[in-house]
Amino acid sequence: MEQFLQQLASGLANGAIYACVALALVMIYVSTDHLNFAQGEMAMFSTYISWQLMSWGLSFWTAFIAAVLISFVLGVLIERVILRPLHNAPVLSVVVVFIGLLAICNSMAGAIWSYLIKEYPSPFPKSSFGIAGVIGPHQLGVVLVTLIVLGLLFTFFRYTPLGLAMRAAAQNPSMARLVGVRVDWMLALGWGLAAAVGAVAGIMVAHIVYLDPNMMGGILLYAFASALVGGIGNPGGAVIGGFIVGVLENMVAFAGNQIEKATGVYIIGNGEKLTVALIIVIFVLTVKPAGLFGRVVVKRV
Amino acid sequence: MPRFPRKWLIVLIVLAVVIPLLRPVLPDTVSDYRLFLVSTMMIAAIAVLGLNLLTGFNGQISLGHGAFYAVGAYTAAILMDQANMPYWATLPAAAVVCFIVGYLFGLPALKLEGHYLALATFALALAVPQILKYKWLEGLTGGVQGIVLSKPEVPFGLPLTEDQWLYYYCFVVLVFLYWAAHNILNSRSGRAMMAIRDYHIAADTMGIDTALYKTVTFGISAAYTGIAGALSASAIAFVAPDSFNIFLSIKFLIGLVVGGIGSLTGSIVGGIFYVLVDNSAQALSTFAKNDLGLQFDLSAYTVFGILLIVLMFLMPTGIVGGIYALWRSLHRGPAIVDPHAAPAPAKSASQPATERSH
C-alpha cells in the first residue's frame, strides 16, 4: 500500500511537469495551430542557462527567475524571426522548421555545455516532513511550484486586459485585429510565455532526471500525450491531462512490477515508458482526437 | 524538371562501375575508406528515397522513418545471426517485413493529417530504441548490446576487396530501387499517389481509392527505408538499439529537404549530403574554432538545423529544385505564367515542385 502511495505521489510530481510542458504546447497550438516539436529542447536549453547562472554564483531562485525571463525573450525572438514569415506556409515547412530548431537547441547545448550528465541541485530542504516516506520534499516542491505557475497564468489570462487580448487574438485573429489588438505581437507573447513555462518545467525536472541535452525527449512525448488526452485546444484540459498521464505512467510500471512479482512474467516496466506514451498518443489520435475535454472540430469541405 | 539526358546517365553509371576498379592504380584517391563512405552514401540515398516516396510524392509527413530503418536493420541482423541466412537474402526479407510494418502503421495514419501524423511518427521515432530493448525480444535483438555481424564476403573468388564488393552490392541495389521508384511514379499508380498529395478530396472524387493508395505507399516507403537499414546492418556489421534514435529520422528529413521534396534525383543528392556533413563534423568543428573564432564545437546537427530552417525560407523545393529554378530563370528569362494553369491548392501538405520524377 505504501509503495502504491509512493508511486501515486511520484506520478503526481511527474504529472506536474508534463502539465507544464503540455500547457506550453497548447498555448502555441491554440494561437497558431502548430505543434511545437522543439518545446522540450527549448526547455532543456533554458535549464542549462539556469545551471550556467548558478555556476556563476547566483542563488537558485535568482537563477530560476533570470532563466525564465531569458527564455521568455528567446521565445518571443524565435516567433518574430523564424516563425512569423511562415504563418501561411504548408504544414511540412513548419514541421521541418521545428525539427531544425530541435536539432539546433540540442546540438548547441551539447557543444556549449558538453554531453556529460550533470547533477542539478534541488532548491527544497532535504529533510522530509509531514507525509514522510510517501512524497519527497522535491516532489512536493515541484507540485507546489507548478500549481503556483498555473495559478499565475490563469489569473493573467482571466483577469488582465493583456490576457484577454491574447485570448481574443488566439480565438479570432481577424476580429481581434479589428478591435485594435496587435495580433502578431500577441502570438509572439504567447510564444514567450510558452518558452517561460517550459523553462519552469525543465528546471523543476532537472533534479529528477539529471541535466543532459537529451533529458527532455521522453518528457516532451509525455507532454504531447497529456495535451492530447486533455484535448489539444484546451489549456485546463492539458493540465488535468498532465496529471492523469503522469499517474497513469507510474501506475502502469507499478502494475507491471506487481505482476512480475506475483507471476514471474515480465510484461511491462520502467523500460517501456516511451512505448506507453507512443500507445497513448496513437490511441487518442485515432480513437478520440478531441481528447477528454476538447471540442470536436467539424471541418467543412 | 527536364529529363536527365540518357547519355549522361550512361556515362555516370559507367563511371560508377569503373572508378572502384582503379583502386590498385590510384590507391590514395580510391581508398577502401572512400569506397565505404560512398557505400554509406548510397544506403542513405535509398533511405531518403523511401521517405521521399511517402512525404514528397504522397504528402504524408513522417518524422519516424528511423523506425523502419531499424526494423529493416534488425530483420537482416537477426536472420543472419540466428538463421545463418546469407546477407543478400536478407534484403527481400527486410523489405517484406518493413512493408507489413509500414502498411500497418499506415492504417491509423489514414485518420491523421499534417501535424498529427508528424506527431504520431515523431512519437514512434522517440520510442524505437526502447522497443528494441524490450525484454521479451532480448533473445533475438541482443538487448542493449546489439548484434555483431560479419561483413559481406566477396563471392566467386572475385579479385575485389570487401569494400569494393560492398560498393558494388549497394550500387546494384540502389540502381534497381531507383529504377523501380521511377517506374512506379510514372505509372497510373504514381499519378494517383501524387494526385492524393495535391488534392486529396479531388483524387477521391476521381475514383482513386485513397485509403488503399495511402497505406500501400506507406508500406512501399517503409520497405525502401527498411532495405537501406538491412544494407547498413551488413555494411557496418553491427546493430545496436541506441543508434536508431530520433536523430536518425532527422537525418533522413535533412536528406529529403536538402535534396528536394518530391524529386528522385534529389533523394540521391540528399543522401550524399547528409553522410558528407556527418562525416566531416570533425573538420567542420576545427574550421569553426580556428577560422570563425567560435568558442565551442560546431556539430553536424547545428549545421543540419540551420540548413533545415534556411532552406525552408530560401529554397522550399530543396537544393536540386532551387538550382533548377535558378538555371531556368537564367536561361529562359522569367518564368511565363500560364493563365490556364490550375491554381495550386492552398493547403497541400507538401510543396509539389515537380510533376515528373527527375
Examine residue A60 and state whether it is found in any structural domain, yes or no.
yes
Is A107 within 8 Å of B302 when comparing Cβ atoms?
yes
Q: What is the pLDDT of residues B304-340, one digit of tens each?
A: 888 888 888 887 777 777 777 788 777 765 554 444 4
Examine residue A29 and state whether it is found in any structural domain, yes or no.
yes
Examine residue A110 and state whether it is found in any structural domain, yes or no.
yes
Kind and range of the H or E element at B238?
A: strand B238-239
Helix boundaries (H) for B59-161: 65-82, 90-109, 114-132, 138-141
Tell me the residue range of the domain where A169 lies.
2-123+132-213
Look at residues A71, A48, A43, A10 and name the one whose alpha carbon lies nearest to residue A217. Answer: A43
Q: Which residues pair with A118 in a beta bridge?
A: A211
Does A81 contact chain B (CB < 8 Å)? no
User: A38 CB contacts (<8 Å, ≥6 apart)?
Assistant: A98, A99, A101, A102, A105
Examine residue A174 and state whether it is found in any structural domain, yes or no.
yes
Contacts of B120 in chain A (CB under 8 A): 281-282, 285
User: A242 CB contacts (<8 Å, ≥6 apart)?
Assistant: A15, A16, A17, A18, A19, A20, A21, A22, A23, A223, A226, A230
Is B253 within 8 Å of A92 when comparing Cβ atoms?
no
Profile chain A (301 residues) by mean pLDDT over runs of 10 residues: 81 90 90 88 93 90 93 93 84 89 90 85 69 72 88 90 89 88 89 92 88 88 91 86 91 84 77 85 85 73 64
Tell me the residue range of the domain where B156 lies.
6-279+315-332
Interface mutation target, options B60, B292, B295, B312, chain A, most CBs of A under 10 Å: B312
Examine residue B347 and state whether it is found in any structural domain, yes or no.
no
Does A218 contact chain B (CB < 8 Å)? yes
Buried b / exposed e along A222-237 (16+ C-beta atoms within 10 A): bbbbbbbbbbbbbbeb
Q: Between B153 and B35, where is the model more confident? A: B35
Examine residue B297 and state whether it is found in any structural domain, yes or no.
no
Q: What is the pLDDT of residues B68-110, one digit of tens each?
A: 999 999 999 999 888 888 888 899 999 999 999 999 999 988 8
Q: Which of A104-118, A222-236, B157-171, B262-276 has the lowest mean pLDDT?
A: B157-171
| Pairing status of strand B238-239 against strand B147-148 | antiparallel
Does A99 contact chain B (CB < 8 Å)? yes
Look at residues B58, B48, B37 and name the one whose alpha carbon lies nearest to residue B117. Answer: B58
Residue B352 dihedral angles phi and psi, to the nearest 5°: -65, 115
Q: What is the pLDDT of residues B209-259, one digit of tens each?
A: 889 999 999 999 999 999 999 999 988 888 888 888 888 999 999 899 888
Examine residue A12 and state whether it is found in any structural domain, yes or no.
yes
Interface mutation target, options B65, B107, B111, B122, chain A, most CBs of A under 10 Å: B122
ipTM reported for the complex, 2 dp: 0.88
Examine residue B285 and state whether it is found in any structural domain, yes or no.
no
Number of domains in chain A: 1
CATH code, domain with B160: 1.10.3470
Examine residue B38 and state whether it is found in any structural domain, yes or no.
yes
Examine residue A187 and state whether it is found in any structural domain, yes or no.
yes
Q: Which residues pair with B148 in a beta bridge?
A: B238
Examine residue B301 and state whether it is found in any structural domain, yes or no.
no
Residue A124 dihedral angles phi and psi, to the nearest 5°: -95, 150
Neighbours of B195 (CB within 10 A): 19
User: Would you call B147 helix, strand, or coil by DSSP?
Assistant: strand
For residue A257, give how far its alpha carbon lies from the nearest alpha carbon of chain B (Å): 14
Closest Cβ opposite residue A92 in set B122, B261, B307:
B261
Search chain A and give the residue with CA nearest B128. Answer: A275
C-alpha to C-alpha distance for A29 and A294, rounded to whole angstroms: 13
Per the listing, cell 528494441 goes with B132
pLDDT at residue B344, rounded to an integer: 44
Closest Cβ opposite residue B120 in set A97, A271, A285:
A285
C-alpha to C-alpha distance for B251 and B278, rounded to whole angstroms: 9
Number of domains in chain B: 1
Examine residue A230 and state whether it is found in any structural domain, yes or no.
no
Is B302 within 8 Å of A85 when comparing Cβ atoms?
no
- State whether the Cα torsion A247-A45-A48-B284 is positive or negative: positive
Burial class (CB in 10 A: 0-12, 13-18, 19+), A88: exposed
pLDDT at residue B334, rounded to an integer: 52
Is A271 within 8 Å of B133 when comparing Cβ atoms?
yes
Closest Cβ opposite residue A112 in set B130, B296, B301:
B296
- State whether the Cα torsion A8-A9-A14-A18 is positive or negative: positive
Examine residue B289 and state whether it is found in any structural domain, yes or no.
no
Query: C-alpha dihedral over B329, B331, B334, B336, to 10 degrees?
Result: -110
Look at residues B57, B3, B13, B358 and name the one whose alpha carbon lies nearest to residue B175. Answer: B13
Does A222 contact chain B (CB < 8 Å)? no
Examine residue A61 and state whether it is found in any structural domain, yes or no.
yes
Interface mutation target, options A93, A215, A228, A265, chain B, most CBs of B under 10 Å: A93
C-alpha to C-alpha distance for B19 and B217, rounded to whole angstroms: 35
pTM: 0.87
